């Protein structure tokens, strides 16, 4: 049955040549940079996680980008959600830092979540309080969920 379905597909009358397409770049062309990204994501176990509700995420980001706050705060929030802050863990995975241990507490890997939520220094600087006062509580909860971080 599958064989018949495949054989019934009409071919182009001009019979163009086949082309290799690299699905991980917008141009369809292979780049070492895109291959490196794939290898790095595979190595560290990160898979791009997109929301199952794209409309909700679009609304969330539209709300964030329209807030009347300094661009550096918006940019920080975006970078935190995308996990692209220059934490020691991210720098270690790019072979820039020699280890990923938090310089402040020395107990954990210095990730975005650790810096914003778990490190005692982060608690003292009041990052959560500041973000909650910049955006509404509902939006803050969406921000935490988007970032994959605990809400408390």
Are residues 104 and 88 in contact, defined by beta-carbon separation less than 8 angstroms? no
Q: What is the C-alpha to C-alpha distance for residues 131 and 127, in angstroms, rounded to an integer?
A: 6
Are residues 77 and 85 in contact, defined by beta-carbon separation less than 8 angstroms? no
pLDDT of residue 13: 79
Phi and psi at residue 92, to the nearest 5°? -65, -40
Domain ranges of the chain: 17-48, 54-147
Phi and psi at residue 63, to the nearest 5°? -60, -45
Neighbours of 79 (CB within 10 A): 13
List, for residues 70-108, the tens digit of each pLDDT value: 888 888 888 888 888 999 999 998 889 899 998 888 888
Task: List the beta bridge partners of residue 109.
Answer: 101
**Residue 129: pLDDT band with limits 50, 70, 90:** low
Are residues 34 and 40 in contact, defined by beta-carbon separation less than 8 angstroms? no
Mean pLDDT rounded to a whole number for the chain: 75
**Residue 48: pLDDT band with limits 50, 70, 90:** very low
pLDDT of residue 152: 44
Neighbours of 33 (CB within 10 A): 9
pLDDT of residue 54: 64
Phi/psi zone of residue 83: left (φ > 0), alpha (ψ -120 to 50 degrees), beta? left
């Amino acid at each position: 049955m599958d064989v018949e379905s495949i054989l019934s597909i009409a071919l182009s009358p001009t019979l163009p040549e086949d082309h290799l397409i690299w699905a991980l770049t917008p141009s369809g062309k292979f780049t070492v940079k895109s291959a490196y990204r794939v290898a790095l994501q595979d190595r560290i176990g990160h898979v791009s996680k997109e929301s199952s509700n794209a409309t909700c995420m679009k609304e969330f980001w539209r709300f964030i980008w329209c807030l009347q706050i300094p661009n550096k705060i918006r940019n920080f929030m975006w970078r935190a959600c995308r996990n692209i802050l220059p934490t020691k863990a991210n720098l270690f995975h790019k072979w820039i830092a020699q280890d990923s241990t938090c310089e402040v507490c020395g107990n954990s890997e210095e990730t975005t979540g650790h810096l914003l939520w778990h490190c005692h220094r982060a608690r003292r600087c009041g990052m959560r309080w500041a973000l909650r006062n910049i955006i509404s509580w509902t939006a803050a909860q969406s921000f935490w969920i988007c970032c994959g971080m605990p809400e408390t």
